[in-house]
Amino acid sequence: MRVVVQRVKKSSVSVNKKVVGKIDNGLMILVGFTYNDNIKDLEYMIKKVLNLRIFDDENGVMNKNVLEVGGSILSISQFTLYADTKKGNRPSYIKALKSDEATILYNKFNELLSEKIKVETGIFGAEMEVSLINDGPITIILDSEGIK
Name the residue range of residue 9's domain: 2-143
Asked, for residue 148, whether it belongs to a domain, the answer is: no
Residue 124 lies in a domain: yes
Percent of the chain with pLDDT over 90: 98
pTM score above 0.85? yes
Please write the tens of the pLDDT for every residue from 94-117: 999 999 999 999 999 999 999 999
Residue 93, pLDDT score = 96
Question: Would you state the pLDDT for residue 35?
Answer: 95
Look at the chain and report how many structural domains it folds into.
Answer: 1
Chain segment 57-77, per-residue pLDDT in tens:
999 999 999 999 999 999 999
Report the alpha-carbon distance of residue 64 to residue 103 in Å, rounded.
31
Residue 103 annotated in active site: no
95 in helix, strand or coil?
coil
Of residues 22, 40, 17, the one with CA closest to residue 122? 22
Q: What is the dihedral of CA 113, 119, 125, 126, to 10 degrees?
A: 180
Classify residue 120: in a domain, yes or no.
Answer: yes
Catalytic residue among 34, 80, 103, 139: 80
The answer for residues whose C-beta is within 8 angstroms of residue 94's C-beta and 6 or more apart is: 84
